[in-house]
A and B are shown apart, each in its own frame.
Chain A
Amino acid sequence: MELLRPSNVDQLDEGVYIHGGTEVVPLLRDGILSGERLVDIRGLVPRGVRDATIGAGTTLAELEVDPQIPAALREACRLAASPQLRNMGSIGGNLLQATRCWYWRLKYPCRLHGGDTCFAREGEHREHAIVANDFCASAHPSDVAAALLALDARVRTSQRELPLAELYHVPDEADRNVTRLAAGEVILELELPPVEASVYLKAMDRKKWSFPQVGVAAARAGGETRIALAGVAPVPWLLESADALASGDEWATPLPRTEWKVPVARALVRRAVAALG
């Protein structure tokens, strides 16, 4: 294996891209990611916050204490992972992290790995998805992605600019990918439109260092409220409207052991909206 350290986008070769390494290194070791060329992209990904632009190389630890950052994102960073992981992990990498689904991590030949079975649906799925879970019941673990989705962030990559929502893709028969990032494409910056208020609430099974059971981000801009959820679908999940959940629980299609997530999501959404004032 070789390690390259390009210093600008033009020098970028294809390979396994690594920034903080908190996700890539374990996945390489497990053989879920593989390749003979490792590309350390820290030399070319911007780091730091300038006005409403966040360098994708900025760590979660830097963001959680940055007063320029909207509350929802700050809180999502603060409640994410462990202190060391927040020190190491970049916001760009965080958006691309894979599910914690144990079947996927244990390399079961599941649908995300190209197989024809979702082992979680029939098996042990108490931490899994409650929406868009028909094909694959994995839950997206990124607190930060939910916050950015509620904040309506835009993503600038080495190839294009797009709304964050378009970065994600609910896996299906034709396309098993969870993101739409092309080969050789790197997230460089995130752009945050102004918001009047924002909040992130998170249900965990210990007080710190836990992936979201349910995470709820809400942001208000121009009289409009956007709500996004973590831990409930194979991708960060944008609710159609703030009161999408008020009318009942039809929005969700929980599995037998994920029914408990529905009232938790409902309560957190209500609280998040209330917290926006």
Chain B
Amino acid sequence: MASELIVNGHTYEVRAPVGASLAHVLREELGLTGTKIACNEGHCGACTVQIDGVPALSCITLAHAVRGEVTTIEGLRDHPLVDAFVKADAVQCGFCTPGQVVSAAALVAANPEPTSEEIRHHMAGNICRCGTYPRIEEAILHWRG
């Protein structure tokens, strides 16, 4: 089966089997390895991408069922949040971090001045085992520098 997939503004043709996940296609077919797979069943948020600006779990999204434009961390590399994460030390091992940034970018796009409570509500699906959460909260609170 072949479908069209728009990722970070580029159009690709996906020829993977019907059961292939978006995360798999992004990483293995398109070489966009910034999207991480940590649980591969929708529980941890490491694979978060935006579909039409809305955070979704690419590891349980079927690539052929995507309707809308996909934005991955590679499409957000110049986002001010990157600098905010660096300044706040919101990264340890870094494996969950791209997913954190993708979720956070959707949050600040919808709500440029989120409160701590709003950050905690919208970021609760991105697990960080190193425990960078306080730094992530700080980074998002001050994302505009």
Query: Which residues in A have their C-beta under 8 angstroms from that of B122?
Result: 83
Instruction: Identify which of A25, A38, A83, A88 contacts B121 (C-beta below 8 A).
Output: A83
Contact (A88, B61) CB under 8 Å given A1-B19, A2-B1: yes
Determine whether the beta carbon of B60 is less than 8 Å from that of A208: no
Closest to B102 in A: A84
Query: Which residues in A have their C-beta under 8 angstroms from that of B125?
Result: 81-85, 209
Determine whether the beta carbon of B18 is less than 8 Å from that of A83: no
Determine whether the beta carbon of A87 is less than 8 Å from that of B56: yes
Minimal beta-carbon separation of A38 from chain B (angstroms): 6
Determine whether the beta carbon of B1 is less than 8 Å from that of A3: yes
A77-99: CB near B (< 8 Å → 1, else 0) gives 01001111101100000000000
Q: Let me know if A21 is at the binding interface, CB within 8 A.
A: yes
Query: Which residues in B have their C-beta under 8 angstroms from that of A25?
Result: 21, 42, 60-62
Query: Which residues in B have their C-beta under 8 angstroms from that of A38?
Result: 18, 62
Q: Let me know if A115 is at the binding interface, CB within 8 A.
A: no
Q: Let me know if B36 is at the binding interface, CB within 8 A.
A: no
Closest to A81 in B: B125
Instruction: Identify which of A1, A22, A87, A207 contacts B60 (C-beta below 8 A).
Output: A22
B1-31: CB near A (< 8 Å → 1, else 0) gives 1000000000000000111010000000000
A182-220: CB near B (< 8 Å → 1, else 0) gives 000000000000000000000000011100000000000
Q: Which of B105-122 contact A (CB under 8 A)?
A: 120-122
Q: Let me know if A40 is at the binding interface, CB within 8 A.
A: yes
Closest to B3 in A: A3
In the complex, what distance in Å separates the CA atom of A82 from the CA atom of B18?
Answer: 26
Determine whether the beta carbon of A84 is less than 8 Å from that of B18: no
In the complex, what distance in Å separates the CA atom of A61 from the CA atom of B60?
Answer: 17
In the complex, what distance in Å separates the CA atom of A141 from the CA atom of B76?
Answer: 35
Minimal beta-carbon separation of B65 from chain A (angstroms): 5
Determine whether the beta carbon of B56 is less than 8 Å from that of A88: yes
Minimal beta-carbon separation of A252 from chain B (angstroms): 30
Determine whether the beta carbon of B120 is less than 8 Å from that of A84: no
Q: Let me know if A29 is at the binding interface, CB within 8 A.
A: yes
Query: Which residues in A have their C-beta under 8 angstroms from that of B19?
Result: 1, 28-29
A1-39: CB near B (< 8 Å → 1, else 0) gives 111000000000000001001100110110000000010
Closest to A79 in B: B121
Query: Which residues in B have their C-beta under 8 angstroms from that of A84?
Result: 42, 45, 48, 55-57, 103, 125
Determine whether the beta carbon of A18 is less than 8 Å from that of B65: yes
Query: Which residues in B have their C-beta under 8 angstroms from that of A78?
Result: 121
**7 A-B pairs in the complex with CB atoms less than 8 angstroms apart:** A3-B1, A40-B65, A78-B121, A82-B43, A82-B125, A83-B123, A84-B55
Known contacts A18-B65, A82-B124, A208-B121; 16 additional CB pairs below 8 A are A1-B17, A3-B18, A3-B65, A22-B42, A22-B60, A25-B62, A26-B41, A40-B65, A83-B125, A84-B56, A84-B125, A85-B125, A88-B56, A88-B61, A207-B124, A209-B125
